[in-house]
Amino acid sequence: MHSSDTVAAGPVTTPVSHACLPAKQASRREPRLGKVLHVINGEHFSGAERVQQLLGKRLNQFGFDAQFACVKPGKFSSYCDLRSGQVSEVPMTGRFDMRVVKQLSTKVLAEDVDLLHAHTPRTALVTSLVSLRTGRPWVYHVHSPAARDSTRGFVNRINSWIERYAIRSCQQLITVSKSLRREMLRRGVPKSRLTVVPNGVPAIEPIATTERVASRQWRLGLIALMRPRKGVEVALEAMQQLRRQGHPVQLDLIGGFETEAYQQQTLDLIHARGLDDVVRWRGFTDDIPSAIRNLDALLLPSLFGEGMPMVVLEALSAAVPVVATRVEGTPEVIRDGIEGVLAQPGDAHSLTEKVVQLTSDRLTWQQMSQRALARHRNCFSDNQMASRVAKAYRKILGPKS
């Protein structure tokens, strides 16, 4: 933070001259919060965007005012629920539209921003150039492996190259899981520049398991931005197997689709497999807690590309056990047979077996629910996440921050 900053944090009051105050009273003024500009895509409102939203809500408790600039304006501005003026839009017309660098540089200098924080390969490139123009340090947040973020190999290679090039100049990389830290180490990033900050979510009112102990029906929910790497097709194949075996399981697909074409393809597949009565697409929701509390278990059959899924943490927070796959950061959260069960990615038979294991006994499910709640409260709160991010900021800005 800069020595010229004199704006006090807190509510606006009538200006009072310091000359009129006793020395003791004047010294009580709150120090200025460090100002951090998060440069984000903003197109969707999924896991990474919920991390950004929570940092926007919590960082001021730890000495930092978080502002956001969206380069791909979309759902974030509409659903982030941040205070007025906290989010701005600086649209890019394409991946390599660098006119945005000048706009952001002007904003950084005019608003006396102390630190920049990027969250995607695209914004990492932009932020590295803004940092060069303004002299402000920057942080890169690794939410998922760029090389395996989608099924589009060419796009993955471009994003991976952009990320690798851009992060050479960043002062600190924050990875959301140990698996991503290992990946960055393999790519040559020094240990001194790496910090692991697990994702965190607020506490949600836990489900009342005693009210469901007598129920024979099971309701699973796959909550995600629906795209091929989420394993939707594997989930549908497992649902077909469960139906043949006579298990009373229903599945809700909750979330939007990455493209209209993939949406139609998935809905056609549900119909072709004769699953219309047991699989329902519920659409996008910004009320994830309510959606989760209606479930008996969360289903996340991802094939690859998971850093640390926010929806898994939200399920733990609501005491909802999880059926997931052994993909990257997920096993760092869910321990097989304790807070949920873990299947092999891409294997519908393995997924079916794990769903049967979870739904075979309500008392065992109830115990998993209790352990899921304890796991969240002990390890994955939003305040813990914000505190650790703030610590990474102070490491860069020094003790005066």
Instruction: Specify the pLDDT at position 401.
Output: 57
* Closest to 397 in 3D by CA, of 169, 172, 61: 172
Element (H, E) at 222: strand 218-223
Phi, psi of 335 (to 5 degrees): -100, 125
At 304, phi and psi to the nearest 5?
-170, 175
pLDDT at residue 24, as a whole number: 43
CA 204/CA 373 separation, integer angstroms: 9
3-state secondary structure (DSSP) of residue 398: coil
pLDDT of residue 31: 64
Chain mean position to CA 350: 27
CB 378 within 8 A of CB 200: no
Q: How far apart are CA 368 and CA 239, in angstroms?
A: 22
* Alpha carbon distance, N-terminus to C-terminus of the chain: 6
Beta bridge partners of 183: none
List, in order of start, the domains of the chain with CATH numbers.
18-200+382-397 (3.40.50.2000), 209-379 (3.40.50.2000)
Q: What b/e string do you get for 214-236 counting C-beta neighbours within 10 Å, with b at 16 or more?
A: eeeebebbbbbbbbebbbbbbbb
Cβ proximity of 120 and 92 under 8 Å: no
pLDDT score recorded for residue 51: 94
List, for the chain, all residue ranges whose pLDDT scores fall below the cut of 70.
1-32, 147, 149-151, 399-401
Torsion of CA 51, 102, 43, 80, to 10 degrees: 50
Tokens, residue 224: 């995600």
- Going by their DSSP bridges, the two strands 249-254 and 115-118 should be labelled as unpaired
Which residue type is seen at 70? C
CB-based contact 118:140 (threshold 8 Å): yes
Q: Are 318 and 294 in contact (CB under 8 A)?
A: no
Strand 34-40: give its sheet, edge to edge: 87-89, 64-70, 34-40, 115-118, 138-142, 172-175, 194-196
pLDDT in tens, 95-146: 788 899 999 999 999 999 999 999 999 999 999 999 999 999 999 999 988 8
Place of tokens 């993939």: 262
Phi and psi torsions of 288, nearest 5°: -65, -40
Own/partner long-range contacts of 100-109 (Cβ < 8 Å, ≥24 apart):
100/71, 100/126, 101/126, 101/129, 101/130, 101/133, 102/133, 104/37, 104/39, 104/69, 104/130, 105/130, 105/133, 105/134, 107/37, 107/69, 108/37, 108/134, 108/136, 109/134
Cβ-based neighbour number of residue 7 at 10 Å: 11
* Token pair belonging to 171: 């002062």
**What's this model's pTM, rounded to 2 decimal places?**
0.80
Instruction: Tell me how far CA of residue 18 lies from CA of 10, 30, 32, 310, in angstroms.
Output: 17, 14, 16, 46
DSSP assignment of 26-39, as one string? HTTPPPPPEEEEEE
Burial of 353 (0-12, 13-18, 19+ CB in 10 A): middle
